[in-house]
Amino acid sequence: MMTSPTNTESTYTAKAPIDFYFDFLSSYGYFASLRIEEIAQLYGRTVQWHSMLLGVSVMKVMGLKPLLETPLKGDYVLRDTARYIRLHGLTLARKISDPMMDPRPAARAFYWVRRHHLGAEAAFARAVYDRYWRLGKDLSLPHEIAEIAAQNPSLGIDPNELQAGQASETSRQDLREAVALSVDKGVFGSPFILVDGEPFWGSDRLDLLDHWLARGGW
């Protein structure tokens, strides 16, 4: 009975990837980036990574202030992230309160990688996050983007091509279109996850996402 065509149908039906949206600026996005692939794999899902910009969704579309500049909430976020870091035993050279980088070069580089090294963009995103948050490097300048490729040769990306590519009009346009599309889909925070159209906002919803995938929704 277990091997009848009906019961094994699901093995022939590929499950849709999980869409994982993040801003490289976002500590909570970084935290989620460390767990999302593991959760997806538990349920036979792949993850499609999408770099987005909180500066567009939160500040322009929603008309809100940056998180750390919001009275009361800013102080809470400092404590909450410190608590998360302690709980998960992370070591971050960057402090949450350190000045933020301009996230656009890294975000454009992400879309350049997706266009020219399709399949490597998730590993590239993890390398960006690692360099920014764990190692505390600023990635605002083009030569610092090149360093991501230089320091991670397993990515197979030429540093000079990456540095030039992130500045190209095509990469700028790819980022603009990706961010606009994310807003069209209702994505506003980082991390933000879509599973078969169901939205999950925030690293504190990963357990709920896990539960959703385990039950197949409810």
Chain positions contacting a copy of itself, by CB under 8 A: 57, 61-65, 70-73, 75-76, 79-80, 83, 86-87, 183, 186-188, 198-199, 201-202, 204-205, 207-208, 218
- The tokens for 18 are 């999980």
Least CB distance to a copy of itself at residue 80 (A)? 8
Q: How far is the CB of 198 from a copy of itself (least distance, A)?
A: 8
Ramachandran assignment for 63, one of left (phi > 0), alpha (psi -120 to 50 degrees), beta (any other): left
Find the shortest distance in angstroms from Cβ 19 to a copy of itself. Answer: 15
How many degrees, rounded to 5, is the angle at CA 199 between CA 110 and CA 41? Answer: 65
Cβ 186 to a copy of itself shortest distance, Å: 6
Q: Whole-number minimum distance, CB 218 to a copy of itself, in Å?
A: 5
What does residue 17 show for φ and ψ, rounded to 5 degrees?
-65, 155
Query: Which residue, 1 or 72, is less far from a copy of itself as judged by CB?
Result: 72
Quick one: 55 or 202, whose CB is closer to a copy of itself?
202
> In the complex, what is the shortest distance from the CB of residue 28 to a copy of itself, in angstroms, rounded to a whole number?
13
Nearest residue (CB) to a copy of itself, 75 versus 102? 75
| CB of 75 or CB of 98, closer to a copy of itself | 75
SS (H, E, C) the chain: CCCCCCCCHHHHCCCCCEEEEECCCCHHHHHHHCCHHHHHHHCCCCEEEEECCHHHHHHHHCCCCCHHHCCCHHHHHHHHHHHHHHHCCCCCCCCCCCCCCCCHHHHHHHHHHHHHCCCCHHHHHHHHHHHHHHCCCCCCCHHHHHHHHHHCHHHCCCHHHHHHHHCCHHHHHHHHHHHHHHHHCCCCCCCEEEECCEEEECHHHHHHHHHHHHHCCC
